[in-house]
């Protein structure tokens, strides 16, 4: 056990301490390097910069949008896949497949082959109905990103919710039916409460991963057109404009934010460990 713990400890502590250190300094490698200790100034500047609040909004929209899509459609899809049908295994695989596509590929495929305003599939469809093709990534950039990222994460939600569905004791449903509950009531009073734990877990895990979404933005818009999330903003501060102090302060914010979400997740997982 010791080596694993030790490695992780080093892996976590060293960069973390460095980030904290940088966040307290005016450190710009391209403009003379370390310009000294500035206290909490970076933290204040990071939140007061004109790109901060838009980035927060973008982050909230994307994370919230993807969560909404993947939970709602995930529940519906899980219910659908739980029904008796022919070729269930194959359909399941079809639905899960997007999760295995590497983020850069899915972003690129969507961007070019579907959302391209002249040759994309969507443009063809729009024209077939006599409408003007939408210039997706410029006109509705956030919606486009939600679409791409949801496509990647919907399978994850579906799979977990399906697993949860399948663990629902069918006798419970039958008992409810005997008690006079109609299908809608059975869904809301039996199935949904049973799913609530799985849904919570999907929300927490996806939130953590979605807050860190990077490749999709990097490949599609490069942060332009108001698609700069907090993660992307920090990335730009650190590597593109090489304002390490400022970016590190942003990094500290991101770590705190992720830890708040993680705390909830750990409580659920921890309870599960006791059994």
Among 185, 212, 240, 241, binds another protein (CB under 8 A): 212
The DSSP 8-state label assigned to residue 50 in this structure reads: T
Q: How far is the CB of 170 from another protein (least distance, A)?
A: 5
Q: Closer CB to another protein, residue 65 or residue 122?
A: 122
Report, in Å, the least distance between residue 205 CB and another protein.
7
Any contact of residue 172 with another protein (CB under 8 A)?
no
User: How many positions of this chain bind another protein (CB under 8 A)?
Assistant: 104
Question: Does 176 engage in binding with another protein (CB under 8 A)?
Answer: no
| Shortest Cβ 13–another protein spacing (Å) | 10
Residue pair 102/234 in contact (Cβ under 8 Å)? The answer is: no
CA distance to 1, 99, 112, 135, 232, per residue, from 143 (Å): 45, 20, 16, 12, 17
Rounded least distance, CB 41 to another protein, Å:
18
Taking alpha carbons only, the member of 6, 7, 10, 34 closest to residue 21 is 34
CB of 57 to another protein, least distance (A): 18
Among 66, 164, 203, 217, binds another protein (CB under 8 A): 164
Closest among 223, 71, 202 to 142, alpha carbons compared: 223
Stretch in the footprint of another protein (CB under 8 A) among 30-38, 46-54, 186-194, 261-269: 261-269
Question: Smallest distance, Å, CB 124 to another protein?
Answer: 6
Backbone angles phi, psi at 33, to 5 degrees: 75, -140
Residues sharing a CB contact under 8 Å with residue 240, sequence separation 6 or more, in sequence order: none
Residues in 218-247 at the binding interface with another protein, rule: CB under 8 A: 218-220, 231, 234-235, 238-239, 244, 247
Which CB atom, from 140 or from 215, has the smaller least distance to another protein?
215
Q: How far is CA 33 from the centre of its chain?
A: 34
Q: To the nearest whole angstrom, how small is the minimum distance from the Cβ of residue 220 to another protein? A: 8
Q: Which stretch binds another protein (CB under 8 A): 38-46, 54-62, 138-146, 266-274?
A: 266-274
Site for another protein in 30-69 (CB under 8 A): none
Q: Residues near 165 by Cβ (< 8 Å), separated by ≥ 6?
A: 78, 79, 82, 191, 194, 195
* Residue 204 CB contacts under 8 Å (≥ 6 apart), including other chains: 261, 262, 264, 265, 268
59-118 residues near another protein, rule: CB under 8 A? 77, 80-81, 83-88, 90-114, 118
Of 186, 222, 204, residue with least CA distance to 259: 204
């Amino acid at each position: 056990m010791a080596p694993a713990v030790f490695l992780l400890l080093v892996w976590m502590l060293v960069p973390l301490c460095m980030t904290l250190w940088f966040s307290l300094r005016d450190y710009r490698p391209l403009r003379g390097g370390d310009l000294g200790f500035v206290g909490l100034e970076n933290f204040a500047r990071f939140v007061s910069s004109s790109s901060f609040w838009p980035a927060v909004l973008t982050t909230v929209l994307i994370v919230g949008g993807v969560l909404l899509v993947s939970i709602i459609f995930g529940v519906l899809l899980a219910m659908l896949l739980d029904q008796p049908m022919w070729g269930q295994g194959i359909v399941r695989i079809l639905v899960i497949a997007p999760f295995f596509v590497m983020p850069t590929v899915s972003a690129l495929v969507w961007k070019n082959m579907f959302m391209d305003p002249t040759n994309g599939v969507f443009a063809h469809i729009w024209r077939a109905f006599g409408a003007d093709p939408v210039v997706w990534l410029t006109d509705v950039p956030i919606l486009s990103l939600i679409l791409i990222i949801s496509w990647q994460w919907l399978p994850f939600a579906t799979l977990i919710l399906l697993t949860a569905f399948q663990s629902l004791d069918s006798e419970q449903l039958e008992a409810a039916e005997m008690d006079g509950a109609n299908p809608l009531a059975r869904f809301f009073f039996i199935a949904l409460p049973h799913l609530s734990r799985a849904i919570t877990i999907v929300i927490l895990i996806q939130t953590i991963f979605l807050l860190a979404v990077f490749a999709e933005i990097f490949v599609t818009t490069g942060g332009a057109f108001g698609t700069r999330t907090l993660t992307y903003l920090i990335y730009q501060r650190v590597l593109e404009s090489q304002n390490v102090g400022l970016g590190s302060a942003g990094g500290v914010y991101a770590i705190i934010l992720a830890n708040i979400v993680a705390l909830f997740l750990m409580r659920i997982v921890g309870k599960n460990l006791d059994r």
